[in-house]
Amino acid sequence: MKQNKITLEQLSAYFPYQVKAKFKLIEVPRCRAMVIGTVGQISDNCSIVCYDTVNAYPEKYKLMLRPMSWLTDEVIFKLDACLSDQLIVEMIRDGEMNLINAPYNVIQTLLKNHVDLFGLIEKGLAEAIKEERIG
């Protein structure tokens, strides 16, 4: 069954790490085609308030996240030292990351870097960040 909206657990996992949200296109004359804001507050119904834009309900926004494919060897090497555990690095490289068994500091590092741990991009509930890799 396809999930049709983000859950509070998924949204709150990214909240401490200044995740951004993109608001759907609005067909209004002289209005920006899209708005991207930093999530500053979340409610129990998954509505958000952004520091630098407007409030929105879950149907009106998508989180901006990095796909798991963003985790190349180069990126993994440059991430936090907690990823130096060879077993975890191999699991990520092979795309077989079992998040249930991953240490908390690994999960935290991935969340800090806005990596899509819940498959929200594939479900249409988040949008892939289109930017350069960390350098």
Number of domains in the chain: 1
Determine the 3-state secondary structure of 107 from DSSP. helix
- Does a structural domain hold residue 1? no
- Does a structural domain hold residue 134? no
For 14, the domain range is 8-127
Give tens-digit pLDDT for 11-54. 999 999 999 988 765 556 665 567 778 888 888 888 888 876 66
pTM value is 0.75
How far apart are alpha carbons 69 and 34 in whole angstroms? 25
- Does a structural domain hold residue 2? no
Q: Is the dihedral of CA 18, 24, 26, 31 positive or negative?
A: positive
Give tens-digit pLDDT for 60-99. 788 999 998 887 777 776 766 666 665 565 556 555 555 5
- Does a structural domain hold residue 135? no
Compute how many other C-beta atoms are within 10 angstroms of the C-beta atom of residue 97: 20
Amino acid 54 reads V
